[in-house]
Structure 1
């Protein structure tokens, strides 16, 4: 991806500075450059998104807070494992999301004459803003990325209510995207769209699927039944791997998966499989366990899965080699692993939950089984017999069905959408059933939080609170985002 973009820029500069250019054309103010076009701006925004999603989100606190992994031998136990956070931990995510991707996407939506580019940019804007809300709560939205002179030079934007302004605003952004995409079906974008290469039909499916996610996320505090019923009845969605929005990486130097590149630049992948996850997988006789994680190749557990309890690496013999334990597999960690923005199993789980809660046009049992099977298929497994053991029935009590959906959804995000796994675990861990905080998740022995308490939000970044007088008071990591109760 980066290689393509770099080559494109080199060609662009070569064309703009050829030997045939007149002196007038060459004699350009060095402090003033021609504006980039839609293709270059979109490519840059998607490039930053790959890093944001895979490194700032998946490979960060969420890597261990989702309890797929735990700190391993080789380094001193980190703050994330002890639930210690400082505001500076989140500066990078905030800056890259706002100053890089969102600034570029906002420029396209305000200035492009192409309905296709505006539609694509608005889908990605909604995706990024939802991620910011789901980690921080109230954020700059209506006044965001307006620091340019032509946008008002606003460098200290006010914060908007996540519940009353931003989440409804995300639906509006997606409706605008769909309106543009509906009239842009024959307008090709091209290879600068690293996700779908200009396939507008797939962008429409992505927009509807993201809209469903946004509407479903408030189900515990503000049900959107009528809107969800209408959307499921009329919309097209991500249904298979062919529809899946992802950012590809070739694996060659300069074009590696961001998580892999970040880890290998440092001490490498030192996380071990968490028993919080392994216990669930093994209790269910779930064959995905040996795809998510490697088998131990040495020691007493050679040839078997071997994790450790969350946050207990200090209890392990520090001379043990990592080969004594189960690590991230090639499926979960690799130089050419794609960055998945939404998966077909995520969307089918959303549709199953929507049918269970609101009686949509979908058959809830079929949607649930399709969700599980699509994840198995992506992993190269046959999940037919496994699905039959889960016993999902539309006749069961709603809370029992939600528990089943919640656990299977959390399992399916392992290795591909770790951050979304943490987010959805928080949502499904509801007052009627504390399936994660009072069941699946383990309290790390060195946690600074009381037993049974787990992080539910990120702190506002230190740079934002230092530079923006309109930033709210700092939160605690145990504060709830508005949809989480």
Structure 2
């Protein structure tokens, strides 16, 4: 976990000319007279932009819409996208802008024989492309990031299949492993500036090599129902360096010196009554899963409800006495009232979530004191636990536990226990690990469900990984609420308007390769269609 210097965000403006979002296609790079020419741009400065941009983008999704899908959180205002997946077509220009910057780092690294930068750029290329294909499906890959083909602008890049993209990701991570396999003193290109620019690992090639191989295991598991990856997976575990402790995992800490570098939806830079922080509430699904296990992470993530509710005629109906609201049983439907005295989450996909728990003032600017907020730390712009969590040691151990459950490795229980311990330690409650693991609904029981439920819990603020796991395993089981548009959870993002308008032939060919489900309801480019990674499987439906 490393703090990055404020100067890196100034650098973002300097290299803006290298990250212009496409208004027509993925490969047209407009000239910015205020930008730094590629030939003169410093590879370290561009690298810092790639890392900060990728980490922030990953967190914004994992803390917001993906957290809504996977029922970590629900919003009680402006909630339709978060709670009910009312997304519509979504463009991917920001992801390809990051890839353009990253490609510049790679090309400079090759030209100047900078093996460290080349390896890091391959890791980040793999990480970003995996997000793209996991979110949308088929996408421009081999034909992307090329401003000119045959002397003419390439304004309509072809789409590679998801299978081909993953094959490329796997190959790039293997190459990155080799490029990053030497001792730090063997990389003369690593200067103090490089260490400062590398806000993930401070220019440590050994850490990056572990990240490359751990990511490779993530993605091999992702495609394991469609490709035979067992021997490859086992070979990496047995012979290649991977994460060994929480000291290895890939985090970026938000410094919070300005709005761009701050934790999302904080109240430092958005402190109005209508702040986005106020709108995000714990989801009842996660709250009750933690409560059932007496999970010590509950108090790290969530705040106690400001005004608990009690069903009692000790005081007049709907009167607050000493911070407790009293309701008479004959005046309310008790099924609509949550009387937990500590943490109260919002049920999934309610029609009026701001009115939950008999809040008398529902609405977009409501302040519902009868439902929990997130912990006060999430009001801050920065803090020791406010990290972009690109991949953690806990996640790796749950991947290894799943592999052992499949029979690829031995000791599924050992990996499962290590994953639970790592997550508790990451959130500062590691002293409770042995007691927690001894609980009957936490102790490993030999099932995949037990592994995936703890992995889902541990994905807090990186919920897209839980979403990707749910799609291929159906675990943990999720039920939709009354305002959900379909009874099944969505499986992907719809291709965006830019592609539909300016690259119709190629995007429509990709859409034709999607496999509809019962929840697609005849829609084209549906959020409920299956991509290659799910096609032909029975998961999640």
Check whether TM > 0.5.
yes
From the superposition, tell whether residues 278 and 97 of structure 1 become closer, same or farther in structure 2 (CA, over 3 Å): same
Matches within 5 A, 1:45-84: 45-55=50-60, 57-72=61-76, 75-84=77-86
Decide which moves more: 118-127 or 30-39. Answer: 30-39
Matches within 5 A, 1:272-421: 272-300=281-309, 304-312=342-350, 313=353, 315-316=355-356, 317-319=359-361, 321-330=367-376, 334-336=380-382, 337-360=386-409, 363-381=411-429, 382-389=432-439, 390-393=442-445, 396=446, 401-414=447-460, 416-421=461-466
Task: Work out the number of aligned pairs and report it.
Answer: 442
Give the Cα separation in 2 of the matches to 1:31 and 1:346: 39
From the superposition, tell whether residues 179 and 141 of structure 1 become closer, same or farther in structure 2 (CA, over 3 Å): same
From the superposition, tell whether residues 262 and 184 of structure 1 become closer, same or farther in structure 2 (CA, over 3 Å): farther
| CA positional deviation for 1:11 | 11
Give 3-state SS (helix, strand or coil) of 1:247's partner: strand
1:137 aligns to what? 137
| CA positional deviation for 1:332 | 5.5
| CA positional deviation for 1:256 | 3.4
From the superposition, tell whether residues 315 and 116 of structure 1 become closer, same or farther in structure 2 (CA, over 3 Å): same
Deviations 1:28-51 (A, max 9, x none): x98984520211110111121133
CA contact (8 A) 1:295 1:326 kept: yes
Q: Among 88, 110, 114, which residue is 1:86 paired with? A: 88
From the superposition, tell whether residues 31 and 96 of structure 1 become closer, same or farther in structure 2 (CA, over 3 Å): closer
1:221 aligns to what? 226
Give 3-state SS (helix, strand or coil) of 2:6's partner: helix
1:212 aligns to what? 217
CA contact (8 A) 1:135 1:481 kept: no
Give 3-state SS (helix, strand or coil) of 2:184's partner: coil
Would you say 1:466 and 2:504 are equivalent positions? no
Unaligned runs of 5+ in 2: 16-32, 311-323, 325-340, 512-523
| CA positional deviation for 1:258 | 4.5
> Which structure: greater helix fraction?
1
CA contact (8 A) 1:261 1:335 kept: yes
| CA positional deviation for 1:260 | 3.0
Matches within 5 A, 1:156-175: 156-163=156-163, 165-175=164-174
Give the Cα separation in 2 of the matches to 1:83 and 1:32: 39
Give the Cα separation in 2 of the matches to 1:387 and 1:151: 62
From the superposition, tell whether residues 258 and 467 of structure 1 become closer, same or farther in structure 2 (CA, over 3 Å): farther
| CA positional deviation for 1:480 | 2.1
Taking structure 2 as the reference length, what is the TM-score of the superposition?
0.76
CA contact (8 A) 1:43 1:193 kept: yes
